[in-house]
Chains A and B, each alone.
Chain A
Amino acid sequence: MPLDPAFTGRSYPPSQPYDVSREKIREFADAIGATSPAYRDAEAAKALGHRDVIAPPTFAIVVSMKTNETVMFDPELRLDYSRVVHGDQNFTHHRPITAGDQLVCVAHIDSITSRMGNDMVTVRTEISTVDGELVATAKSMLVVRGQDA
């Protein structure tokens, strides 16, 4: 059954704060084979003008994961998770995610469209500090494959 476009514009409650740690950033940097010292060495990061080690640009997906799951498993939206494919992804960084940040995510459904039997859902997650400073915006387009697709 196609998704109801009336859910466009729906916003979700703010997530619990996510505490960004040096160790999680290091673990993520190791997992993607990244070599930049700014991900691991606080002194190197400070020399570049950062407060502490910074996270790779796609680390925002880890921070926003719980919030995105809230959307995907929203019982009213009735999205069939087993048919979901990640269509595209975009991150805008107002500043890099930095160790020590406490980040809150708020998800919004920006659009729901249908094409050739597939539904396309764009979820925008605004990532801010607990003090309200906007840090990053993550936009994910999910494709929900139709029964015949």
Chain B
Amino acid sequence: MTVEVGTELPALSVRLTRADLVRYAGASLDFNPIHWNEKTAKDVGLPDVIAHGMLTMAVASRIVAEWIGDPGAIVEYGCRFGRPVVVPNDGEGALVEVTAKVTKDFEDGTVKVNINAAFDGKSVLTGAFARVRVA
């Protein structure tokens, strides 16, 4: 597969509802109540229940996995957690919009993909990137 710097990956929009947060809590064994209990979230100063940073990070990884075909080609993946994704108690949930672009060729068969995940028009993951084996 030939991948050029500047290539944009197909964008991904993911809706996260309270049910998704409960499901991720169960799958990941992260039962911190700020991810499912409004009272606890508000008591610690959050506007409402927030998504697990690790769930947002996992959802954002899909843009690379679905583009490259073999998720095993992702050799490194990192980000900072910049802002929370606030998830209201309704059927709509929160919309996370993921975009990504190839930004560097390491010339060792891997490339760098910069990833942006936005909620409410603002980036929630800072400096998110994946190093992906393409050859």
Which single member of A33, A54, A62 contacts B72 (CB below 8 Å)?
Answer: A54
- CB pair A33–B14 under 8 Å, yes or no, is yes
- CB pair A92–B76 under 8 Å, yes or no, is yes
- CB pair B24–A31 under 8 Å, yes or no, is yes
A-B contact count (CB 8 A): 106
Question: In this complex, what residue of A is CB-closest to B59?
Answer: A32
Q: Is the interface of A mostly helix, strand, loop or mixed?
A: mixed
Q: Is the interface of B mostly helix, strand, loop or mixed?
A: helix
Question: In this complex, what residue of B is CB-closest to A96?
Answer: B72
The interface residues of chain A lying within 8 Å CB-to-CB of B20 are 31, 33
Which single member of A32, A62, A93 contacts B62 (CB below 8 Å)?
Answer: A32
Question: In this complex, what residue of B is CB-closest to A50?
Answer: B72
- CB pair A34–B27 under 8 Å, yes or no, is no
A44 to B20, CA, bound (A): 26
Q: With A31-B28, A33-B62, A65-B29 as known contacts, state yes or no: A92 contacts B53, CB within 8 Å.
A: no
Q: Size of chain B's interface in residues, with CB distance under 8 A?
A: 32
Interface residue A78 (Cβ < 8 Å from any Cβ of B): no
Interface residue A91 (Cβ < 8 Å from any Cβ of B): yes
- CB pair A88–B58 under 8 Å, yes or no, is no
- Give B residues with C-beta under 8 Å from A: 14, 20, 23-24, 26-30, 53-55, 57-59, 61-62, 65-66, 69-72, 74-81, 130
- Give A residues with C-beta under 8 Å from B: 27-28, 30-36, 38-39, 48-50, 54, 56-58, 61-62, 65, 85-96, 139, 141
- The 4 A-B residue pairs whose C-beta atoms are closest, nearest first, are A90-B78, A31-B27, A96-B72, A88-B80
